Amino acid sequence: ELAGTIANAEKVARWLQDELEVDPADILFCASGPSSFGTHDATRDGIKSAVIDLLATGRDQTDKLFVHLSGHGLSKKNGSDFGSAADVLLASDFESVDISGDKCVVLGELITLLSDGLGPGSHFWTVDMCRNDDRLIAPAGLGIAHLHSAAGSADWFLLLSTAAGHH
């Protein structure tokens, strides 16, 4: 567990509730430890479950989406199915590239699934994770059907805390 990640994510959740008046029932929160906001584990399966839940309940009903990711990550510069570089979030059940290299989530896949699947609107992503280069990691897709909303795709905006290759 990375110190401060849950506390920072809780600040974002409180801001959504207090400043933007988001209903607490509309906040999905993956946590690797105790949190009053926690709705899903921060394991790969927990993150996948949260994405499936969001797609099921938010399709064509999500004018604005705020996603905050905070934790360990890597950057695979030699490409993936999701572009020439792939930023990878390490789920809480990730141990090492050799043992659990499949316990991670490709950021580009999350963005694509949600922007295409939820329909028109604006998606705001804040990502606070390391982006060290690791060519050995071979992230697998989440295995979620890539569905497109008949109404169109969302515009998305991405703010990264670190440059590729840094921590």
pTM of the model: 0.90
pLDDT digit string, tens, across residues 126-159: 999 877 776 667 778 899 999 999 999 999 999 9
* Position 109, amino acid: E
Tokens of 109: 């896949």
pLDDT digit string, tens, across residues 95-127: 988 888 889 999 999 999 999 999 999 999 999
Cα 62 to Cα 65: distance, rounded to the nearest angstrom: 7
